[in-house]
A and B are shown apart, each in its own frame.
Chain A
Amino acid sequence: MSLDPKRHLSRQIQQIPRSGIRDFFELVIGRDDVISLGVGEPDFSSPWHIREAAIYSLERGETSYTSNLGLLSLRQEISSYVERQFGMRYDPKSEILITVGVSEAIDLAFRALLNPGDEVIYHEPCYVSYNPSITLAYGLPVAVSATPEDDFALRASTVESAITPKTRALILNFPTNPTGAVIERRELEGIAELAVQHDLIVLSDEIYSELRYDGAEHTSIATLPGMKDRTIFLHGFSKYHAMTGFRIGYSCAPGILTEAMMKIHQYSMLCAPITSQVAATEALRNGAQAARQMHQTYTTRRNLLLTRFRKAGIPCFAPGGAFYAFPDIRATGMTSQGFARELLEEEAVACVPGDAFGPTGDGFLRCCYAANTEALKEALDRICRFYSKKIRP
C-alpha cells in the first residue's frame, strides 16, 4: 500500500511547511569540519550540581509520575523565583504548570485558548514554533514585523494595525530568538493597553529574560496594569541554566487558564519527567552562581563578536539579550539562504539564514555566540573574510 499525504494526513499537517532550519540542518549534518554558530542552545553542559542532583534522584529510585501540575516543591520554588525576579505572585497550587519545555506550554496555551479561525498575532523574525503551533490549534497566525530600523524591537503601533475583531491572542518573545532584540518599556506599555482594550490574552515567552547585556532592562508584561489576569507567562530552564536536554519549562497564569492547559497536558503528557523536575528544583535553589558565570562568558563572547563585526564593517546592532547576534548581510546583495549556503561551502561555518525565522529575517544571519570561545574566534575570522570577499568581488 502506498500512503497518499492528501488522503492519509490531516489537512492541518499538510498546511505546515517544512522548517527552514531542518533544510539547513540536512546540509550541515555529516560534515565534521564545520564550526557551528547555528545552534539554539548553550555550549555548556548543565552545571555539575544540577546533573549530580538528577543522578542522586535516580539513585534514590525517584522514577514515578508526579502530580499533573508538577512537583509542588518545584512549583513553590518557581513561585518565589518569579516573584523575586519579575515581581509577579502566582499561587503554586493553582497557577503554575510544569511542562516539557516552553514549547509544550505554548502548544497547550494555544490549544486551550483558540477556536477555529481565531487570529493570533506574533512578531517576526521569531522562534520557529509560533506559527505552526497556532495552526495546529486551528488558529490563524498573523505575523507582524519587528524591523531592522527598530533594532528588531516591536512597536505597539505595528501590533495595533494587525488587530481585528477576530484577534484572540498575542505572543511576545523578548529578548528574542533569533535577533537578540529587547523591547522598550514604553512600547510594551502600549501593547499592554491594546491587550486590555481589545480583550486579548498575551503569551509572553521570557525564556531569555535573564540573559541581558549592556544594562538592558527587562519588564514582564504581566506586571503592567490590567495584564496579570490576561497573561500566560512562560519560562524555563533550557537557556539560563543550560538544561535544554532536560526539556523542562513552566507557565504561570490565572487559575482558569492554568486549569485549561492542565486538562490537555494531563492527557497528552501526564507530567514532565520527574528527574528533570528534580534537576530544575536544584537549579532554582542553588544554581545562581553557575548561571551567572555562564552569563559572564556569553558577555565576553558577545563583545568579541561585535568587535570583530565592527572591524570588518559588517552592520550588526548590539543585541540586548539572549545569545544571538543578527548581522545584516544585505550589502552583499545575497539572500540569507545564499549567504549561509556559500559560507558553509567555502568557509565551513554554519549560521542559520535569517529567513528561517520568517520572511522579515531575509538579508540577515543568526549567529549564536553560545559556542566555545576559540571556535567562535575562528568562525568570526572566516565569516569576516567571507563577507569582505562578497562585498568587494
Chain B
Amino acid sequence: MSQLLDLLQKDARKTNAELAELLGLDEAAVSQEIAQLEQDGTIMGYTAIIDREQHQPNKVTAMIEVRLSPERGGGFDRLANRIAAFPQVKSCFLMSGSYDLLTIVEGEDLREVARFVSETLSTMNGILSTATHFQLKTYKANGLLRSSQPDPDRLPVSP
C-alpha cells in the first residue's frame, strides 16, 4: 500500500475519510491498512516538522562523525545502540567510508553539545575518534524547502 504511505508521509494529519477519497477506497479499509502498518512497524510514528530556526533559533544541531572499533560477534551494533539511546541523539546511522557512525545531535546551545561530545561520547569505551560539524543554516529538511517560492501564475482557462 505504497500510495497510502506516500500520502501519509506528505501529510500524516489527513483523516481516514480524506485518505479514503484520495485512494478510492472505503474508510474501513484505510483504517485497517493503517493499523496493520502501525502494528508491523512500517509506520514508526507521526511527528510534526518544525522550522527550528524560527521556533528555537538558539538550539544547536551537530552532525558528529564517530569512528569506533568493531567488536567480535556484534560488529558496531552494541556500541551504536548505546550511542543512539542518548536522548540528545536524534538520528544515528552506520555509514560506509572514512568513519563509521553519523550521529545527529541536538542541544540547547553550543556548550551542551560540546559537553556531550567531549565528556560522554568520546570517553566511551571503543570510540576511536569524533569529528563534530555544527549546522549553520537550513535550506531544506524532511523534503521541504525552507524558503519556497509562491506558485507561478497560470492562465485560469486554457484549451
B-contacting 9-mer, from A20-28, A57-65, A161-169, A261-269: A20-28
Contact B23 A128 (CB under 8 A): no
Contact partners of A40 in chain B: CB under 8 A: 158-159
A10-43: CB near B (< 8 Å → 1, else 0) gives 0000000001010011001101001010111101
Contact A300 B3 (CB under 8 A): yes
Name A39's contact: one of B3, B7, B152, B154 (CB within 8 Å).
B154
Contact B156 A303 (CB under 8 A): no
Contact partners of A21 in chain B: CB under 8 A: 157-159
Asked if B53 is at the interface (CB within 8 A of a chain A CB), the reply is no
Asked if B45 is at the interface (CB within 8 A of a chain A CB), the reply is no
Query: B62: shortest Cβ distance to chain A, in Å?
Result: 29
Given A39-B154, A300-B3, the answer on whether A129 and B24 have CB atoms closer than 8 Å is no
When C-beta atoms are compared, the residue in chain B nearest to A103 turns out to be B159
Contact partners of A45 in chain B: CB under 8 A: 151-152
Asked if B155 is at the interface (CB within 8 A of a chain A CB), the reply is yes
Contact partners of A36 in chain B: CB under 8 A: 156-157
Contact A303 B24 (CB under 8 A): yes
How many angstroms between the C-alpha atoms of A296 and B7 in the bound complex? Answer: 10
Contact A129 B156 (CB under 8 A): no
Contact A350 B157 (CB under 8 A): yes
Contact B156 A296 (CB under 8 A): no
Name B24's contact: one of A29, A39, A306 (CB within 8 Å).
A306
Which residues A341-365 have CB closer than 8 A to chain B?
A: 350, 352
Asked if A127 is at the interface (CB within 8 A of a chain B CB), the reply is yes
Which residues B1-18 have CB closer than 8 A to chain A?
A: 3, 6-7
Given A25-B157, A39-B157, A296-B3, the answer on whether A304 and B21 have CB atoms closer than 8 Å is yes
Asked if B22 is at the interface (CB within 8 A of a chain A CB), the reply is yes
Contact A28 B3 (CB under 8 A): no
Contact partners of B155 in chain A: CB under 8 A: 25, 39
Contact B156 A28 (CB under 8 A): yes
Q: How many contacts between A and B, using CB within 8 angstroms?
A: 61
B138-159: CB near A (< 8 Å → 1, else 0) gives 0000000000000110111111
Number of contact residues on B: which range applies?
10 to 19
How many angstroms between the C-alpha atoms of A129 and B159 in the bound complex? Answer: 9
Asked if A388 is at the interface (CB within 8 A of a chain B CB), the reply is no
How many angstroms between the C-alpha atoms of A113 and B24 in the bound complex? Answer: 45
Contact A43 B154 (CB under 8 A): yes
Contact A304 B157 (CB under 8 A): no
Asked if A115 is at the interface (CB within 8 A of a chain B CB), the reply is no
Asked if A307 is at the interface (CB within 8 A of a chain B CB), the reply is yes
Contact A25 B156 (CB under 8 A): yes
How many angstroms between the C-alpha atoms of A25 and B7 in the bound complex? Answer: 34
Query: B25: shortest Cβ distance to chain A, in Å?
Result: 8
When C-beta atoms are compared, the residue in chain B nearest to A36 turns out to be B156
Contact B21 A39 (CB under 8 A): no
When C-beta atoms are compared, the residue in chain A nearest to B25 turns out to be A303
Contact A303 B22 (CB under 8 A): yes
Query: B152: shortest Cβ distance to chain A, in Å?
Result: 7
Contact A28 B157 (CB under 8 A): yes
When C-beta atoms are compared, the residue in chain A nearest to B154 turns out to be A39
Query: B29: shortest Cβ distance to chain A, in Å?
Result: 13
How many angstroms between the C-alpha atoms of A212 and B118 in the bound complex? Answer: 58
How many angstroms between the C-alpha atoms of A45 and B31 in the bound complex? Answer: 33
When C-beta atoms are compared, the residue in chain B nearest to A371 turns out to be B154
Asked if A308 is at the interface (CB within 8 A of a chain B CB), the reply is yes
Asked if A332 is at the interface (CB within 8 A of a chain B CB), the reply is no
Given A296-B6, A300-B3, A300-B7, the answer on whether A39 and B158 have CB atoms closer than 8 Å is yes
Contact partners of B20 in chain A: CB under 8 A: 307
Contact B24 A352 (CB under 8 A): no
Contact A300 B156 (CB under 8 A): no
Contact A304 B159 (CB under 8 A): no
Contact partners of A352 in chain B: CB under 8 A: 157
Residues of A within 8 A of B (CB): 19, 21, 24-25, 28-29, 31, 34, 36, 38-41, 43, 45, 127-129, 177, 296, 299-301, 303-304, 306-308, 350, 352, 372-373
Identify 19 new A-B residue pairs, CB closer than 8 A, beyond the known A127-B159, A128-B159, A308-B21.
A21-B159, A29-B157, A34-B156, A38-B156, A38-B158, A39-B154, A39-B155, A39-B156, A39-B158, A41-B158, A43-B154, A177-B159, A300-B3, A303-B21, A303-B23, A304-B21, A304-B22, A307-B20, A350-B157
A and B contact pairs by CB, cutoff 8 A, 24 listed: A21-B158, A24-B157, A25-B155, A25-B156, A28-B156, A31-B156, A39-B154, A39-B158, A40-B158, A40-B159, A41-B154, A41-B158, A45-B151, A45-B152, A127-B159, A296-B6, A299-B3, A300-B22, A307-B20, A307-B24, A308-B21, A352-B157, A372-B151, A373-B22
